[in-house]
Every structure is written in C-alpha cells, then in structure tokens.
Structure 1
C-alpha cells in the first residue's frame, strides 16, 4: 500500500486533481535502519560503536576516514563496558616486517602460534595463511585488523602473514590486487625460512580482503603457480551490483552501508566504465571460477554484501569448486574479528573458518586446472 504524505492525505476530499497537483511533494520513504534486527550482543557492540561518535565515512576525505573510530575500537569500548580485559589475544610470536610488493615495499605482520625454537633446533613446518584485511581498498591497516589473524593463528596452528597493500585514491585499481598477489608469491618463496610448509598455504580475507583472496587464487591459477589449498572469504566484496536484495535491505546498515560502498569504489576505481564488469571486481558476474581451491564463505545477515557472498558460493559450486558456507543471523559486517566474550557468534565464525582450514591443510594439495579457452580471464 502506497504511503501518502500528510499534505496529500488532507487533499483527498478535494479529488484526484488536487492530489495530482501536489504529487511533487510526495517523497519516497527512506530505507529503514536494519540494525534493529541485530541480536542483543551485536546491538551492544553497535551501541559501543555509536558512543565513539564516528562520522559517516562517505562524507569524509580518505585521510579523514582513516582517522575515524573503527569496529576494533568499538570492541575495546564494549570490553571496558563489560569489565573485560582489552589486551589482544596472546600469540607466542608476533613481529612486523617489510616485504616486497608489486611496486615497492609493503608492511606485513607475522603471527606464529609456537614459541621460537631453541638455537640449533630446526624450524617447524607449519601451515601458512596469507591474510588480507578489509577497508574497501581505501581505509584500515594491520592494527585495525589485528584480532582476526590472531584468532586464525591460535585456532588453526598456522603461521599467519597479514599483509597491508596500497590503497586508493593514492593508488587506484588494480594496485591492491597486484600487491596481494606479490605478497602471496613472496610467502611461497620464503615459506622455509618462516617455518612454513609450502604445500599447505591458504589465503583468507575480510570484505575487500576477501576480494583480494579470491583474486590471488585466480591469478595463481592463470600463472600456473602453486594454488592455495583453500580460500577463506569473509563477507567478501564479490560484485559491483548495488541493487541486490541485501543492498536494498541494508542500505542504511552500520558499520557498512550502501553509500560507503559507493564511496569505496569511487576512491579505489579509476572511473572507467569497464571496471563495473572487470572480473577482478565483478567476480560473481564475470570471473572464471573453474579450478579454484576450496572456498570457506562467511556472510552476515545485516550486511549490504550478504547477497553477493551467497551468489559467489552458488557460482563457485556450479563451477565444480568445493564450498562450505555459513550465514550468521543477527550480526553485521565486521563482526568476525570481535572478541568472542563480547560477541559469541564471532567466536563461532572464527572456529568454523579455522576448522575448515585445518581440514584443507590435511587434504592433498589442489591441482592447477586451466580455465576454458573461451572463458573471460582476470587480467594480471
């Protein structure tokens, strides 16, 4: 049933002509705030986020946006409200390093879930995860996304290499994609000296990082480089269609909304019309997905990216890729890295991804399968 403005309803007794005359005064109802569907723990975390007075990202410059409170800050605020410790999850070895990227050095952070061996003892051969953080290819860094790689290292027993990459608008598409692949190749080449097992390397990413993770696998397949044994795709950016059901339902969601996604694309993209169909960004629509390794997909109910994450799982499965996925109800984008004592579903998602990664590490390494000759290929 169409809702009428108050002025239009008052004119109804005067007939349709009067109503037609004031039609320009009838504006569409703005989409409702969907965070009312959040479960109690998620609602508490969102309230903690609101208490930090974040400004709408889409109204800021990239430099201003990078200084805004993040959901990581909100988790700490919520921990303080609940009387919980705010120290990060303890990992035996954490160190910052610099690695070569596609166009210069990149910051990276290594998490090793075992104590350093005594002098003279051989390094262990642990599985490895190359992890890419979120932030729409524009904001965030290794510190904002510190909790997720800690959880992955602790729950999988794998070495995690968290990689920062060039961001827009200073470095536009495909700079982040090129850096992500360069970081993956560096991890393969340096696995032995890191204590890692070259045959057991996975890629994991959140949001924009999820897009980078699947692109790394596609680029490795194209180059006939060793494939990752699995892809952890946590609410990934997988398409450029902003009219999906979840974009419409969650246009006003927090901490990610539709206006922010447009802002991210505008600041990372070059503005070329072809980018909307480029398979590296529009993975669901145009990427060749045959021959990719196991995909572990996590989606959140209150998230503009929910529909494309589910569509990605369907398309991967249709192309013969093993897919395991879990959709978490009552939570929003960015829930994955929260302290499980603050948000229990974060702990469940972390354990789900870790268990599936461990299963992939125990399975035979995936073979490289070349895409069909007439398929559209992601450009390197």
Structure 2
C-alpha cells in the first residue's frame, strides 16, 4: 500500500498546478454573501465550533458537527418539531459492495407488484467522512418528492480504503440493486442514481461504467453540487477559497486522504469534467450552489454534458452554500431544490424524458 502523501508533496503535486499557476490570493470569507435563512444556518453551524478539517485527523473529522446538526440547532431555536420528514418505511439493510457488505438504508413503500421506481443515493463527505445518518434528510426528501424507493448506500472511505474503493463500491451497489430490485418492490428498468458532493461524483462513475451494460444503464443521474474535476485553480476555488462549510483547504484535505498519488487525480472517474468521455450517459440533473468551491466544476460539467449530447437540466442557487440541499426544514432554497430535483425525476420515471 502506498503511504499517504505528505502535505508538502501533496500541495506541490496536485496535477502540477502549483508549479505553473500563480499563487491564489487569500480571499475573505464569501459566506457573507448569504442572506436570510442561509445566513442563520451558517451562524448556527459556526456556533457548534467546527474546526478546520485540514487541522484534524480523519478520525477527529468524523466526530465534527455537521450542517445536519446546524439544521437541528436552528429548529430548536425556532421551536420547531425535530421529527424527520415522514416516509412510508425506513429500514436498514446491507448491500453487496466490491469487497463485501455495505451498510444501506431503504426509504419508501415496497410494492408487491414490483412497480415502484427506485433511486440509488450516495452521500457526501469527500469519500472520507459522513454516513447514512448525516444525509438522512436528503434521502427522505427524494423518497417524499418522487414516490420512489430510495436506497441510500454507504461505501468504503479513505484513508483506510483509498481510491478507487468508494467508486468500485458504487458500481457494485448499482449492480446489486438491479439484481435485487424486484425483491425490494422496485422496477429494475427505472433506477436513477443520485448523490451529493463526493456522492455526486460516485453517481457519475456509475453512469459512466454502466452506460452500455446489458443490465441497462441508470434511468437518470441527479448530481447535487458534485465533485466534477480536480482543478484546484478553477475560478470558484479562488473566489470561494474560504467558504463554509467547504473550503478549498478542506477539498485538498479530502483528496489527500482518499487518493494514492498524483496519477489518481488524472483518472476520469475523478477528473470527470476534463478527462472523461460523457457520451451516452442518461439524462442528468445538476444542482449547483453559488457559495461553493465546487461551483466552477459543476458549471463546466453541465457544459461538457450538453456538448456530448446528454440531455442536461441544471439550476444554480447563488445564495446557497455547499451542503444546503438537505436543509429544507429551515432553508427555502433547499425546499426549491428538492422540488426541482423531484420534478425532474418524476418526469423520467413517468417516461416523459
């Protein structure tokens, strides 16, 4: 096994950009651009005292407060009910990954006739932190907005399991779901794949790996502020360098703790927007946060998908930050984004796309 990179070697090796690009000027915290309920949520997150990820070990980072915790803090402040969004059924199961069983959770009603559409969902966390509980609200929202059975799947994480472990698990999880869809009450011909952040990157990997599969490609890809490339000098990496809850330094920390070395950063599964062939993918929906270092990568991905002939719907939320999608109980942009994503998925499941 390759030893983890040193911070100095990592910074100097990342696609060789440090050697050929001008230094990135320190920018003020751009989350000051957020207003209203987004600003309130960010203030609640700051009050929880999260430390910069780049100052922590992965074990320490996994114990950090999350934006999901900040949502609950705002709910308490407003005197709101903390009960999660209701769905017909929630059940913990295991699915088969590339190297063994993976924790998973089913949301939605099983149908005896096997007619329900299905969504395979991958959570975020930079392939290093977070779990099914952290992103419970997003999976519930997709089930409620679409009427589909949502299967949220965890995956192996770095640094214990480095690239391409999570990516291989994602493909294996989709293959498992196709094979077991009828047992779960779902339709194997109507399975969409969705993901947030690093999970959006995993959804892209599934789409690329299985676009010509005899078992059938996914019906749709929902990509919520996805990790779309490895360009650490993209415009949003500069102007959103100090954003919260995701900063440029945190992006580098995630990549350092998941990848094995510089060559991984040129792999089309990671550098999708610049190195991958996207022709033949199913229809895509892309949700972009404006206050997010990943914004430019998402915008570039939308252009590349459309240039490749992939029907692509996209919506940007300029005043929202990374991790906003699951915050619907306290954030209007999240309500709109969930409704938007749900409507696109319902169109596909109904055969109108």
TM-score greater than 0.5 by the shorter chain:
yes
Give the equivalent residue in structure 2 for 1:193. 183
RMSD: 1.5
Among 76, 81, 92, the alignment partner of 1:80 is 76
**Within 2, Cα distance between the matches of 1:62 and 1:223?**
36
Structure 1 residue 128 and structure 2 residue 118: aligned? yes
Among 224, 228, 233, the alignment partner of 1:238 is 228
C-alpha displacement of 1:222 = 4.9
Give the equivalent residue in structure 2 for 1:247. 237
| Distance change (3 Å), C-alpha of 1:283 and 1:224 | farther
Query: What SS class does the counterpart of residue 49 from structure 1 fall into?
Result: helix
**Within 2, Cα distance between the matches of 1:321 and 1:98?**
33
Among 326, 330, 346, the alignment partner of 1:342 is 330
**Within 2, Cα distance between the matches of 1:182 and 1:278?**
19
**Within 2, Cα distance between the matches of 1:226 and 1:29?**
47
Structure 1 residue 267 and structure 2 residue 257: aligned? yes
Query: What SS class does the counterpart of residue 210 from structure 2 fall into?
Result: helix
Query: What SS class does the counterpart of residue 201 from structure 2 fall into?
Result: helix
Give the equivalent residue in structure 2 for 1:147. 137
Among 269, 272, 286, the alignment partner of 1:297 is 286
What TM-score do the two structures reach when normalised by structure 1? 0.85
Give the equivalent residue in structure 2 for 1:15. none
Among 340, 345, 352, the alignment partner of 1:357 is 345
**Within 2, Cα distance between the matches of 1:201 and 1:138?**
26
**Within 1, Cα distance between the matches of 2:149 and 2:113?**
12
Among 317, 328, 345, the alignment partner of 1:328 is 317
Query: What SS class does the counterpart of residue 342 from structure 1 fall into?
Result: coil
Q: Where do 5+ consecutive residues of structure 2 fail to align? A: 1-22
**Within 2, Cα distance between the matches of 1:76 and 1:100?**
32
Query: What SS class does the counterpart of residue 222 from structure 2 fall into?
Result: strand
**Within 2, Cα distance between the matches of 1:281 and 1:52?**
32
How many aligned positions are there? 331
Give the equivalent residue in structure 1 for 2:209. 219
RCO greater where, 1 or 2, for CA within 8 Å and sep 6 or more?
2
C-alpha displacement of 1:246 = 0.6
Q: Where do 5+ consecutive residues of structure 1 fail to align? A: 1-26, 366-380
What TM-score do the two structures reach when normalised by structure 2? 0.91
Larger gyration radius, structure 1 or structure 2:
1
Query: What SS class does the counterpart of residue 194 from structure 1 fall into?
Result: coil
Structure 1 residue 311 and structure 2 residue 307: aligned? no
Give the equivalent residue in structure 1 for 2:107. 111
- The farther-off stretch of 92-101 and 356-365 is 356-365
C-alpha displacement of 1:198 = 1.0
Query: What SS class does the counterpart of residue 304 from structure 2 fall into?
Result: helix
| Distance change (3 Å), C-alpha of 1:286 and 1:150 | same
Runs (4 or more) in structure 1 with deviation over 3 Å come to 222-225
